[in-house]
Amino acid sequence: MGKYLRYITANTDTEEQSFPVAKAFNTHIEELNLDVLLQKADNLRMKECSKLESFELLCDHKEKFRDEIEFIWRLARAYGDMYELSTNTQEKKHYANIGKTLGERAITRAPTNGHCHLWYAVLCGYVSEFEGLQNKINYGHRFKEHLDKAIQFLPEEPFLYYLKGRYCYTVSKLSWIEKKMAATLFGKIPSSTVEEALQNFLKVEELHPGFSKSNYLFLAKCYIDLEQTDNAVKFCNLAVLLPCVTKEDTDAQREVKKITSSLKSDPSRYPDRFD
């Protein structure tokens, strides 16, 4: 296994099966109360380069705070961070599955906590990356269900509308066979439109202007689909102004440049509006 994958599996009782217990990363663990620990973990996580340290900090305190909801959903989120940081497929799969297990535990214990539903939804999305079509659709259904619950409890959280926009955009592009299989599984065909996706991405911008490079990218993609080139150009220009901090930012930057080149190479769509 690679450098990020460091855990052992506990099999102490039924509840804990498939619930890995991270090894202590530090031989000397500073005793922190819960509030101080959570604040420290949140602060570390704000920088991409400190997400691993935040993860390790939470793992070091798992035994002490394992039954605290505010701790559980943060640990689930941290496993999601590790999924994003890792470049090894097996590691990513492990982190996604562990995080999903934690997320299930969190939503069961705190069904009205929006953060629990948010990170459970995200981790279902990560797990789905390793599944076949039928399970992908199953996890997609679960993702949407818990995303909607998270929005109900956290209506001002921009990240939720970004995720919903991504969901709507993906559903709007589903093939006939994917829609047919979803209908077989859930009794109805999932439906959404680029317009619905656009409204969610605009909501992100309303709540938090300049939220992310990726949000600007998807705003541009929606406007291209809707043949509103001026608006697509506007959001491409805004996207390149934001710094590249995460891998997602770098990927988004690359795609924005492709879109920009594509628009510039098509005189009928390029109104000479790029900065």
Confidence of residue 144 (pLDDT cuts 50, 70, 90): very high
pLDDT at site 267 = 56
76, two tokens: 């689930």
Torsion over CA: 160, 161, 163, 164 (sign) = positive
Reduced to 3 DSSP states, what percent helix, strand and coil does the chain have, rounded to the nearest 5? Answer: 70, 0, 30
**Among residues of the chain, what percentage have pLDDT more than 70?**
85
For the segment 79-103, the average pLDDT, to the nearest whole number, is 97
**Is 71 within 8 Å of 65 (Cβ atoms)?**
yes
Q: Which letter does DSSP use for residue 150 in this model?
A: H
Query: Which two three-digit tokens encode residue 234?
Result: 């506007």
Q: Which pTM does this prediction carry? A: 0.85
Question: pLDDT at residue 22 above 80?
Answer: no
Q: Torsion angle, CA of 218/84/152/42, rounded to 10 degrees?
A: -120
List pLDDT tens digits, range 110-139.
Answer: 999 999 999 999 999 999 999 988 898 889
As a whole number of angstroms, the distance between CA 215 and CA 91 comes to 27
pLDDT tens, residue by residue, 183-225:
888 777 788 999 999 999 999 999 999 999 999 999 999 999 9
Cα–Cα distance for residue pair 184/177, rounded to 1 Å: 11
DSSP result, 214-268: HHHHHHHHHHHHTT-HHHHHHHHHHHHHS---SHHHHHHHHHHHHHHHHHHT-TT
